[in-house]
Chains A and B, each alone.
Chain A
Amino acid sequence: MLAKIAHQRCAWVAGFLGVCQFVIFAPALMARGMGALAGKVTDPAGDPVPFAVVTATSVDTGQVLPAATGADGTYKFRLSLGTYHVTYESAGYEPAELPVVRVAGPWTVVENCKLEMKDEQAQGNPDPAQQPAPNPPANSQEPSLEDLGITPAQAKGNAQAQALLDKRSRMLKIHQRLGIITIEPFAATLIASAFAGGKKTSSSDRDLHAILGTATVGLYGATAYFAIRAPEIHGTKTRGPIRLHKTLAWIHGPGMVLTPILGEIAFAQKDRGERVHGIASLHGPVAIITGAAFGLAVVSVSVKF
């Protein structure tokens, strides 16, 4: 009786987590019902401003979404449909804002921004991190950065952009650790499945499989959350093994939603003393494909090919 209750609870939790993942992450992955806001941030001369911080704040929900421009000054947000207040900031420039930007459909709203130089005398004592790289006083005997064609604006740091990079790295580190931890219950779930699916299985074998599966789905959801919510650095073209890593998410992501749902159907069939049949018979193959894609995703960024 207790085992049955435990099973029902686990199955319900696994199903619930699967549905949660679908609700939370599928929109981000499929970008349905979403639009985009993109543009280029330039200086008064029309040159791109890299690492400018662009912040879109939803007028409807208050959600704050920061991003940074890439080396070419471009930025891009994927946004839920709605109205946004957008600000543009970069060290050495006057902040700029767009009070109302409407993202009304699944297309890209383009908003370019030209930043005006900040009046240096009015700045007081700026953050030392935002001051230009130290450069000795120009004289005829020592070359300076200006001699190399590097302007003070190009040499100037941007603490906000650094904070965004720091946040991205922190979140991806957690993503990486959780991903590694997830392998263990995932592997244990696959091993436990050998005792859960045959003719002579007991309900306790199935319960163990369900508990491990639930833990896997929960950890996977947390792993995915930290990857999806890590700030994007726009203007960066995805290159290298990370492309395969991201592509594989399209396999193990839906697989991780589908597997517990199919598992719950299969579980119910077994509990009724039936042979697993119909769509539930896909539970095993889907789980194996999901596991293989997940394992390959981990290996793709761990080992150099």
Chain B
Amino acid sequence: MLRKLLIGILLMCPAALAGAESQWMLDGSTLTYHVSHPLHQSEGISHEARGKGICHEGQCNFLIAVPVKSFDSGDSNRDLHMLQVTRGAEFPIVTVRTRVPESAAESATLNLDIEIQFAGQTVQYKQVPFQRVVKGNETQITGTIPAKMTDFKITPPSLLTIPVKNEFPITVDLTWHKM
């Protein structure tokens, strides 16, 4: 009887560990890039990001992916030019990966190390600050990624032969829910 009980407990252990795993799903997103030129301040917005987080043994791995062509600046000519300079046809998806300790996921401010794959390059940004706000079942994460064209080997597009600034910060507004 005792042997059967022990075997039963042992069999249940993996199930119990598996039960410790939790997941986050991205409900809504607004990603905005900002480009500066002496004659223009432009921004392109995408609401088409998809994301998922898997928490396991105290660590949560997040992946967010967004099609390059989904960024809309309100000007089809500019969008096609951005698609070209960012090599969006060759590398159609931007991915962002980050790892967050499950305990840190409860903080109001998160300083995250993020890895971005974009335009055929993989770039890491260290300790990027994000704000976390909980609204009922949803968790909203906002912040700005200090991206630079040169980080991704992008030739800055130019207008009237004047190139845009190297910096193109990306503001992030993500709404997650825990499953």
Contact = CB atoms under 8 A, between A and B. Distances in A.
B92 A140 contact: no
Top 9 A-B residue pairs of the complex, sorted by shortest distance between their CB atoms: A240-B75, A161-B89, A157-B90, A165-B84, A242-B77, A148-B50, A143-B52, A162-B89, A143-B63
A144 B59 CA distance: 16
A133 B39 contact: no
Nearest to A301: B77
A148 B51 contact: yes
A165 B56 contact: no
B100 interface: no
Given A140-B56, A148-B63, A176-B160, A169 B84 contact: yes
A133 B115 CA distance: 14
Contacts of A162: 84, 87-90
B164 interface: no
A142 B158 CA distance: 39
Interface in B60-85: 61-63, 65, 67, 69, 73-81, 83-85
Contacts, number: 125
A123 interface: no
30 contacts: A71-B69, A130-B90, A133-B91, A140-B56, A141-B54, A142-B63, A143-B54, A145-B63, A148-B50, A148-B52, A148-B65, A150-B50, A150-B93, A156-B92, A158-B92, A159-B89, A165-B89, A169-B81, A169-B84, A236-B79, A239-B75, A240-B74, A240-B78, A241-B75, A242-B76, A301-B77, A302-B39, A302-B159, A304-B40, A304-B41
Contacts of B95: 133, 145
Contact of B120 (A129, A142, A143, A168): A129
Nearest to B120: A129
A94 interface: no
B161 interface: yes
B91 A157 contact: yes
B151 interface: no
A124 interface: no
A38 B174 CA distance: 39
B84 A157 contact: no
A154 interface: yes
A301 B97 CA distance: 37
Given A148-B65, A157-B90, A140 B74 contact: no
Given A239-B76, A240-B75, A304-B41, A133 B93 contact: yes
B77 to A, nearest CB: 4
A35 B95 CA distance: 42
Contacts of B93: 133, 145, 150, 154-155
A239 B76 CA distance: 5
Nearest to B157: A169
Interface of B: 21, 39-42, 50-54, 56, 59, 61-63, 65, 67, 69, 73-81, 83-85, 87-93, 95, 117, 120, 122, 158-161
Nearest to A167: B84
A145 B65 CA distance: 7
Given A143-B61, A176-B160, 17 more contacts: A50-B69, A134-B117, A140-B21, A141-B61, A142-B54, A142-B61, A145-B65, A145-B93, A150-B65, A155-B92, A161-B89, A164-B89, A165-B84, A236-B79, A238-B77, A242-B77, A301-B159
Given A50-B69, A161-B89, A239 B52 contact: no
Contacts of A129: 90-91, 120
A200 interface: no
B174 to A, nearest CB: 13
Contacts of A157: 87, 89-92
A1 interface: no
A143 B61 CA distance: 7
Contacts of A155: 92-93
Contacts of A147: 52, 63
A303 interface: yes
A71 B48 CA distance: 13
A51 interface: yes
A157 B93 CA distance: 9
B150 to A, nearest CB: 19
A11 interface: no
A158 B87 CA distance: 10
A293 B73 CA distance: 25
Interface string A203-243: 00000000000000000000000000000010011111110
